Amino acid sequence: MGDLGAGVVHYIAFRTSTNEQQERWRRELAPRVRDVRPVINRMYFRSICFREPGGVLFEIATDPPRFAIDEAADHLGEKLMLPPWLEESRTTLEQRLPRLTRSGAQVAR
């Protein structure tokens, strides 16, 4: 396995359209791939991860429930939305993230 840096692949993500399809992928991979992780609920999507023999991390993430579960779809991106487990880090994250603009207007945090 290489060291992280320029030219090294660390992570590859794939998408799947349903939770059921993701479960099928997990069942197919489990006997073939070492250390397929359990499904993780990441609030905006569900995720399974595993590594290939060279160490590259693969993720298969679901489309649902998507990002409009905690804000209206027509207001996506207007403020920083965080899953509950990151709320305690909000102040630090807001300080570190660059302020973004949309169509020339500043976006509130």
If asked whether residues 36 and 53 sit together in one domain, one would say yes
Verify that 61 and 76 share a domain, yes or no: no
Between the CA of residue 52 and those of 15, 36, 56, what are the distances in Å? Answer: 17, 10, 6
Same domain, 61 and 31: yes
What is d(CA 33, CA 16) in angstroms, rounded to the nearest whole number?
18
CB 90 within 8 A of CB 97: no
Hey, is 69 helix, strand or coil?
helix
Global pTM? 0.70
Which residues pair with residue 49 across a beta bridge? 59
Q: Residue 82: which of 49, 42, 38 has the closest Cα?
A: 42
What is the residue range of 81's domain? 72-106
Q: What is the pLDDT of residues 12-36, one digit of tens each?
A: 999 999 999 999 999 999 998 878 9
Written as tens digits, the pLDDT of the chain (109 aa) is 556 667 778 889 999 999 999 999 999 999 988 789 999 998 889 999 998 888 889 999 999 888 888 888 888 888 888 989 999 999 999 999 988 776 655 555 5
Both 60 and 21 in one domain: the answer is yes
Q: Are 48 and 20 members of one domain?
A: yes
